[in-house]
A and B are shown apart, each in its own frame.
Chain A
């Protein structure tokens, strides 16, 4: 299980009367094992929404819950992949991935086995004893994803995880994430500002608007992906050439552009 629910969520910075209203009346439901991408202009509060689910921040009104239980603090049932990786520089790859398992009290032998398995899955075999600074950005982010996945969390929260990577690495990581997500489905909340990435990865895409931040529109991708058999294509560029993909991408772009236009006006 791992259904996420935003119930009339608001966030005001400063006092309630004349503070800055960052989020207002956010309604969003992410079903168990669903991959939800959240896109929106910068400043719309998408990262803040993710931080509510993670338990790092709290809304000033409304409620964020997972499986009907109100989120009050961070925990390993809701693993986070950060844009800047957030690996401990003084720990090796193995020690970084191991920390969460040790905290859960997983026995040593099982830890070893689970880490070896996740390292193989993430193409990191042979790097277990390397320190993060010895790895490229893409590999560091793979370690970060491995650290999250190894905990077998109900919910995966990804905050622009590929935002700090170069374009080629990004594509490889997107393909790998699709592979991982299809084989090992989890409830995923994926923040991005790259529309293509959202369409390629997600089951549904939530489009946010700003001032105040809110969910404006939700686009279903999954039914079209399945109808048009996107997963038969192994490479991301083949999927991106499909008419159905282009159509969805354009639809989302238009919706976002309206936001931009309103900003100027």
Chain B
């Protein structure tokens, strides 16, 4: 184990110990404000066992992960091609950019009331809001990726007589992909943030629903469980995206390491 890992582990251990001491030994922090490790563990036991807020933990996780994944996929499947198109075609840029500039500064969460008005408290409203939130970074980064593409590479491809579809697949996409992946990471983060917020406003199940219910029940242990699980889910999905990125960009990471 590296020195860094040892130090990191020690820090985490110290923080946990401090948490235990402050809440359970000295009671410097009242259990009504912040839960002790034992309370948190009990809440975890409850939500995995008998369940909480209309479901057991796995129900909430699956619901949230499914919605995030769907919203994220819809956003990137529409956002990335639109960004590529805007980056490539001046006409598309002139056409879409003004609309985009107006919509872009609207905070994604501000869409929630409208989405609920249109689609109710169901899944569709949440997917719509995630879409709005995750769409913007996908578009902007794909657009920038194309714009930053080395012009001589485009000329080289033209000189080689590359047909348009081959060009998109083998030059435009890989050339823009470092930026595209930056966009995807931001989109994924935005998806989680937005989903939790949307579920806080209204949902039957889901991690945001757990947080909301626990707040209304004045149940700090469950709030902390909800926060930890949301963090873990987000972290795991980001890690999965990182693996995909390293695979897709092996040429790029290798060239950076070589220099």
Chain A residues within CB distance 8 Å of chain B:
54-56, 73-76, 78-80, 82, 84, 86-91, 99-100, 102-104, 131, 133-134, 147, 151
Selected contact of B160 from candidates A55, A84, A103, CB within 8 Å? A103
Contact-size category for B: 20 to 34
What is the CB-to-nearest-CB distance from A128 to chain B, in angstroms, rounded to a whole number? 15
What is the CB-to-nearest-CB distance from B158 to chain A, in angstroms, rounded to a whole number? 4
Selected contact of B159 from candidates A80, A102, A131, A134, CB within 8 Å? A80
Chain B residues within CB distance 8 Å of chain A:
150, 152-153, 155-163, 166, 170-171, 174-175, 251-252, 254-255, 258-259
Q: How far is the CA of A90 from the CA of B255 in the complex (A)?
A: 10
What is the CB-to-nearest-CB distance from A176 to chain B, in angstroms, rounded to a whole number? 21
Are A54 and B162 in contact, with the CB atoms below 8 A?
no
Are A74 and B170 in contact, with the CB atoms below 8 A?
no
Are A90 and B174 in contact, with the CB atoms below 8 A?
yes
Are B160 and A147 in contact, with the CB atoms below 8 A?
yes
Note all chain B residues with C-beta closer than 8 A to A73. Answer: 158
What is the CB-to-nearest-CB distance from A195 to chain B, in angstroms, rounded to a whole number? 26
Are B150 and A99 in contact, with the CB atoms below 8 A?
no
Are A74 and B252 in contact, with the CB atoms below 8 A?
no
CB closest chain-A residue, reference B156: A86
What is the CB-to-nearest-CB distance from A13 to chain B, in angstroms, rounded to a whole number? 17
CB closest chain-B residue, reference A80: B159
Are A134 and B153 in contact, with the CB atoms below 8 A?
no
Q: How far is the CA of A120 from the CA of B254 in the complex (A)?
A: 26
Known: A76-B161, A86-B153. 14 other contacts (CB 8 A): A55-B158, A74-B158, A79-B160, A80-B159, A87-B156, A88-B156, A88-B170, A91-B170, A99-B157, A102-B166, A103-B166, A133-B251, A134-B254, A147-B160
Are A131 and B174 in contact, with the CB atoms below 8 A?
no
